[in-house]
Amino acid sequence: MNKAKKFFAILFIAATILACQTLTGVSETRAPEASSPVVTGAATEAQSALGAESNPRAGSSGLGDSLYPNFGNGGYDAQSYLIDITVRDVKTSDLNATTTIAANATQDLASFNLDFIGFEITQLTVNGEAAKFSRSGQELTITPNQLIKKGEAFTVVVEYEGSPEVIDSEALPVQTGWVTFEEGIFVLSEPDGAASFYPVNDHPLDKARFTFRVTVPKPYEVAANGVLSETKDNGKTTTYLFKLRDPMASYLATVNIGDFDEETMQSPNGVPIRNYYAAGLPKGVNKPFARQGEMLDFYSEIFGTYPFEVYGSLVMNTDFGAALENQTMSIYGIDMVDVNDIEGTEAVVAHELSHQWFGDSLSVADWGDIWLNEGFATYAEGLWIEHLYGRDELNQWVKYLYREAESSPQYFPAPGNPPADDLFNGGVYYRGGLALHALRLEVGDEAFFKILKVYYDRYKGSAATTEEFIAVAEEISGQDLKSLFDVWLYQDALAAIPELGLGK
């Protein structure tokens, strides 16, 4: 193997992280929280994620996330979203849309909130009856005509039109959500962009099923999560119906519009893969994606069966400084794909694919636990390298991560304490990955790989906290690992890895 190339790949990722670090001046675009009365001392039940609420008849305007308390909403559990969008003009994203949300009340509800930004709402019904609503920042507060009883299923239909607002994330200095550019539209919502194009309970604790019906003028095409189950020719427009088999966290919903070349393949064990490449991309753009099937089967072997019915990647012909593991369809800006460095780009491809297990199926219960996504996906890159080239190459890779984190500590804070305005800092990636390597050295390979499998199996399709991961690690290893995780996740100073001669 060519080391220079491999290490360029890692540098490439580091450069991306550092590029994000150097951007400044993120303006706070969110209005203050909605003014529903919250009396924090009066919660009746434990702060269980869905439904902890002090006022028994108003669903809370947030889900109690430690970093972003206003993300998501309480008092109900969303079951499904049907997002029906007609894009009238792709250049401006002028659209009209109807989002239908089926939910179950987890408390009596006189009112409840959705997260939704921009647009003009032209009609809003709850169980078929027009409902009152008010808006403040991202909070859409809905007051149905009749009280919704705890345990009751209800349906909300929101009709809206206009062009999505440009929103900057609270968590990182880039535009998130629905993005319009010269040649089309893409959606990149982690962690808070989903509300830019559909009304949503926007937190990974509330997964739901998704269906997308998207109509675009010819000759544009649509690529969304899941399986394309129908394409309808309406004359001047085309309607694409995408269905997703498994529940999904709201931030992973993606709708991409452009002119695509589609490529289909399958993993050696038969998981279907479809890739979309925007027209005009450099020749050979598909090469770094050719081994996705092998990677998918490798991760299935070490983590557990691939969680979804399909996988694939979509590459857009624009720079967005990121790739995102949208469920069943990771998306990449062309700046993340180097056709002259296949092997380096493969590390990014492996990273996004591994998120289908750690991030998408098994999600973070709190954004403060983001290292459970990024540290795992980073370490999955190392596991792919080890799979191809052996333990020595893994050790070289670990040393590279360590020295980067050691030499620029300002970019690599402790992974367990990410700052709210810099969620995707270098620490959650590199130091999160290193924490897993330290765990592996402590408990041995057999216990380590069993921990990964049991942790995934126990929380797949759901969400977990760092404490829950630590509990699995202690259970499987039979060791007290509290101080190991304390040192690796929460202490500012980078811990040593004496086995590799790293640190003091």
Q: Which is nearer to Zn ion, 87 or 423 (CB)?
A: 423
Determine the Cα angle at 224 with ends 207 and 201, to 5°.
25
Q: Which is nearer to Zn ion, 346 or 374 (CB)?
A: 374
The alpha carbon dihedral of 69, 71, 73, 79 has a sign of negative
Tokens of 482: 């509290």
Nearest distance, CB of residue 331 and Zn ion, angstroms: 12
Task: For strands 132-136 and 175-181, give the pairing.
Answer: unpaired
Count of helices and strands (H, E) across the chain = 10, 23
Nearest distance, CB of residue 190 and Zn ion, angstroms: 9
Residue 372 touches Zn ion, criterion: CB under 5 A = no
Alpha helices (H) along 153-240: none
Please choose, out of 202-210, 360-368, 373-381, 470-478, the segment that lies near Zn ion by the rule CB under 5 A. 373-381
Residue 222 touches Zn ion, criterion: CB under 5 A = no
Nearest distance, CB of residue 71 and Zn ion, angstroms: 19
Is the distance from CB of 452 to CB of 476 less than 8 angstroms? no
Please choose, out of 296-304, 342-350, 377-385, 431-439, the segment that lies near Zn ion by the rule CB under 5 A. 377-385
Number of other CB atoms surrounding residue 181 within 10 Å: 15
Report the distance separating Cα 402 and Cα 367, nearest Å. Answer: 24
Nearest to 178 by CA among 159, 169, 165: 165
With contacts defined by CB under 5 A, how many residues of the chain interact with Zn ion?
2
Task: For strands 221-224 and 255-258, give the pairing.
Answer: antiparallel
Report the distance separating Cα 126 and Cα 345, nearest Å. Answer: 47
Report the distance separating Cα 127 and Cα 153, nearest Å. Answer: 9
Report the distance separating Cα 264 and Cα 12, nearest Å. Answer: 28
Report the distance separating Cα 481 and Cα 443, nearest Å. Answer: 9
Nearest distance, CB of residue 489 and Zn ion, angstroms: 17
Encoded one letter per residue, x for contact with Zn ion by CB under 5 A and - for no contact, window 143-182 reads: ----------------------------------------
Nearest distance, CB of residue 411 and Zn ion, angstroms: 16
Residue 17 touches Zn ion, criterion: CB under 5 A = no
Q: Which is nearer to Zn ion, 250 or 373 (CB)?
A: 373
Tokens of 472: 């699995």
Number of other CB atoms surrounding residue 232 within 10 Å: 11
Report the distance separating Cα 283 and Cα 293, nearest Å. Answer: 21
Nearest distance, CB of residue 295 and Zn ion, angstroms: 15
Please choose, out of 12-20, 50-58, 314-322, 369-377, the segment that lies near Zn ion by the rule CB under 5 A. 369-377
Nearest distance, CB of residue 374 and Zn ion, angstroms: 5
Report the distance separating Cα 392 and Cα 411, nearest Å. Answer: 27
Q: Which is nearer to Zn ion, 95 or 188 (CB)?
A: 188
Report the distance separating Cα 311 and Cα 367, nearest Å. Answer: 25
Please choose, out of 82-90, 308-316, 366-374, 435-443, the segment that lies near Zn ion by the rule CB under 5 A. 366-374
H-helix or E-strand spanning residue 349: helix 342-354
For the chain, the distance separating the N- and C-terminal CA atoms, rounded to the nearest angstrom, is: 31
Among 334, 342, 377, 484, binds Zn ion (CB under 5 A): 377
List phi, psi (to 5°) of 442: -70, -45
Please choose, out of 87-95, 146-154, 180-188, 375-383, the segment that lies near Zn ion by the rule CB under 5 A. 375-383
Please choose, out of 61-69, 156-164, 186-194, 368-376, the segment that lies near Zn ion by the rule CB under 5 A. 368-376
Q: Which is nearer to Zn ion, 154 or 358 (CB)?
A: 358
Residue 188 touches Zn ion, criterion: CB under 5 A = no
Nearest distance, CB of residue 424 and Zn ion, angstroms: 8
Please choose, out of 196-204, 370-378, 387-395, 458-466, the segment that lies near Zn ion by the rule CB under 5 A. 370-378
Residue number with the smallest Cβ distance to Zn ion: 377
Nearest distance, CB of residue 359 and Zn ion, angstroms: 7
Q: Which is nearer to Zn ion, 258 or 433 (CB)?
A: 433
Nearest distance, CB of residue 319 and Zn ion, angstroms: 18
Determine the Cα angle at 450 with ends 447 and 455, to 5°.
120
Nearest distance, CB of residue 291 and Zn ion, angstroms: 18
Binding site for Zn ion (CB under 5 A): 374, 377
